[in-house]
Chains A and B, each alone.
Chain A
Amino acid sequence: MSDRRRGDAPGLSTTVAHRSGFARLLRAEWTKFRTVRGWVLAMAAAALVTVLLGLLSASGSHTSCGGACPAVPVGPGGEAVEDKFYFVHRPLNGDGSITVRVTSMTGQIRLPDLTPTPTPGTRRVVSGLVPWAKAGVMIKESMKQGSTYAAVMVTGAHGVRMQHDFTQDVAGRPGGVSQRSPRWLRLTRSGEDLTGYESTDGRQWTRVGTAHLAGLPDAVQVGLFAASPGDLTVTPGDFGGSSAASRFAEATAVFDQVSLEGSVADGVWRPDDVGVTLDPDGSAHHPGGFKESGDTYTVAGVGDIAPLSDGPQIENTLTGLLTGLIVVIVVAVMFITTEYRRGLIRTTLLAGPRRGRTLVAKALAIGAVTFVTGLAAATAAVTLGKGILVANGNYVLPVAPFTELRVIAGTAALLAAAAVLALAVGTLFRRSVAAVITAIVLIVVPYILATASVLPAGAAQWLMRLTPAAGFAIQQSIPAYAHVLGNYTPSGGYYPLAPWAGLAVLCGYAVLALGLAVFQLRRRDA
């Protein structure tokens, strides 16, 4: 009989009738969402507040260098780097190698001046090496900061390492060097491949690693180097959180038994204080040094050869997200709890009696709406915010286009997953206030606790691993490097989980909650 009267409803064309039931439910949920003006306006407000708060915080950030700020070198991978070290070098053409023996590595660290200074002009300097002080042999494309390189080195506390192109680090054997137990290092070039070796006696060699330097030209620089990053100390705060301080440090290494193979120009070593800054009077600020005495070479260096992790990052323009997230949570919860409040859930279940599919359609609808809203908001906040930061003289740490895309799309995905989680919690609780509070306690509160310097760093990191707030990791654009000492805490924007792993934790919570909600919805009488 239903067929008898279908003729008078021309909307029932066969194409529509053949569309799957799930697509219809999805469309119905979208119609439901867009026909409540309050929800549409709230979503727009969430986007707007995310953008505006982000831009506001960006416009409050100024940097001035008294003139033009010095250009920050960029490594082969496109990341901002510190490329500051003392290099004693000569040209090498084509394949070849350098072999040295390191017989000593020492250093000094300058402590803060006492106030008041007992004798004017005295500096409190103690001897010591910072863990990532480094000295060894290097082959580098050119003297240009940021150019490709590979190096084998001994370090202050991390044994022998082979590093290349700033971000790459391979561990060799542990242990330091001394007169009694020197370390032999060798770096061999074959085309674009550089292989590092180490030895304790100069006869038995162990390969440390091989680096492929794409586009390495025929003519390169080969030599000895030394560098020492600042002495970073992280102090736990009295009320949670931590503060970091960095002190000037210098490393000095003694090399002998230097031998070169390959097409190396005869003549003298050329010392260069790469990346040294000059004081107003034209003298070098914290210069390194080089001393040659017979076959023994002493090289002292300051600085580091490593990616930069300090400075404004693109995700700093997304500080408004937290407020937008709370609005999204409220809308997503209301999307289901108003149905319970009005008894409309029964109508929904009459239209879609297979309850699991109906709730999944609802989750997908609110998730998609949130994703699109979040995508627009994050794109605007990052793009415009970056412009404001740069216009204010800030140097925003550059990232690869894919990373920027990941931060923007990931932020949208973070919002969407949070919306699904909130909807599921709303289904379980059936009451707006309880569900909103629960969703905020699950997602927003752990994030605030972890980043607002109220918890010890360890506790903050566990929160960012275990709670749905782990999803915020998708926003971290600059990775934490194991071979660069940094204050890698959530409050500094560094999360313990990798970006996608963090987002996966949040999505896992959302899926789990949705599964529970489906189970409950099926079990309960409506």
Chain B
Amino acid sequence: MRATIEVAGLRKRFGQTMALDGMSFTVEPGQVTGFVGPNGAGKSTTMRVILGLDAADEGTALVGGRPYTGLRDPLRHVGALLDAAALQPSRTGRNHLLWLAHSQGLGARRVDEVIERVGLGPAAGRRAGGFSLGMRQRLGIAAALLGDPPVLMLDEPSNGLDPEGIVWMRGFLRALAAQGRAVLVSSHLMSELEDTADHLVVVGRGRVVADTSVAGLIAAASTGRVALRTTAPAEAMAALAHAGAAVAATGRDTLTVTGLAAEHVVAVLNRSAVPFSEVSAHRATLEEAYMELTRDAVEFRAAGQEAAR
């Protein structure tokens, strides 16, 4: 099986709301693909459709070329973490993994392996009801890894993790991708994915807004911007505007210049005898690039926080 996820033309309507509106993208093996968009953009719904939990009104979602519901021993093909809190509280973590293992024809030895792998250790023998959020996330990762699947799908895996856990998760996902697996990680915060993802599928209002490499996205957002540090911002703005550039003040002594290359900025400032201490090509943060992209896609920015589904 080729480790891919192929989503094509998914549409799904919940009552009046169009949850998915032509969602299409492909997740390739060997890299971490960030699945990012504001709450309510359709990330979780898309994941549930891929996993056969929700039915789409239109379109197809294939894992390794086949629909999820047609997979034999599906956890050996796809590992998923949707909701780490989905546990029977009185069952131990290890027994939670054990029934999952049995459902796929796996044994207790494999359970102990994944418990070690996620660093749950002896805590796995305790009742899952007493687990911290971080332990639940690790247990969820262990469950996803149980069948040693070539495809992994994780919905907001860093939710509730402490900083140490976030760093661990980041490294863990990168290592899984390095083994050749296709890893799809959703998040509503671009900053979470900045150091993790190689590729990004940005969604808004149920459709893909951008499908690009992380490097490409930043480059596109950074094009033609120059950052300037000066003790005389007013004079600098006047001189540069006169030269045809758009100038915005971004701080007490910093300006962002658009429409003029860096060497021209230096020439104009020298000509006008405006002092400056630094001129540099501006590198956009992923966050800025993302905000740019999703500006139109965000509905009800304030009210829509709860509409995660």
Contacts and interface: CB of A to CB of B under 8 A. Distances in A.
Interface of A: 1-2, 5-6, 8-12, 16-17, 19, 21, 24-25, 27-29, 31-32, 35-38, 338-339, 342-344, 346-347, 349-354, 525-526
A354 B68 CA distance: 10
Q: By CB atoms of chain B within 10 A, which of A2, A16, A21, A339 has the most?
A: A2
18 contacts: A1-B3, A1-B181, A2-B77, A8-B113, A10-B109, A16-B107, A32-B99, A35-B96, A35-B99, A36-B88, A344-B88, A346-B83, A347-B86, A350-B52, A353-B51, A353-B68, A354-B69, A526-B53
B264 to A, nearest CB: 52
Interface of B: 1, 3, 29, 48, 51-55, 68-69, 71-77, 80, 82-83, 85-92, 95-96, 98-110, 113, 143, 147-150, 179-181
Contacts, number: 121
A518 B85 CA distance: 25
B51 A24 contact: no
B125 to A, nearest CB: 12
Nearest to B2: A1
Contacts of B87: 342, 344
Q: By CB atoms of chain A within 10 A, which of B53, B88, B89, B143 has the most?
A: B88
A349 B53 contact: yes
Q: By CB atoms of chain B within 10 A, which of A8, A29, A525 has the most?
A: A525
Contact of A12 (B80, B86, B105, B150): B105
Q: Which 9 residue pairs of A and B lie closest in terms of their CB atoms, listed nearest first?
A: A11-B107, A28-B103, A35-B95, A343-B86, A1-B150, A31-B99, A351-B103, A525-B54, A353-B69
Nearest to A345: B86
Contact of A11 (B71, B72, B91, B106): B106
B80 A350 contact: yes
Contact of B105 (A24, A350, A525, A526): A24
Contacts of A31: 95, 98-99, 102
Contact of A1 (B105, B107, B180): B180
A8 to B, nearest CB: 8
B83 A343 contact: yes
A352 B76 CA distance: 12
Nearest to A19: B105
A6 B148 CA distance: 7
Nearest to B99: A31
A57 to B, nearest CB: 34
B110 A24 contact: no
Given A19-B105, A28-B103, A351-B104, A9 B74 contact: no
A350 to B, nearest CB: 6
A8 B107 CA distance: 13
A339 B76 CA distance: 22
B77 A35 contact: no
Contacts of B95: 31, 35
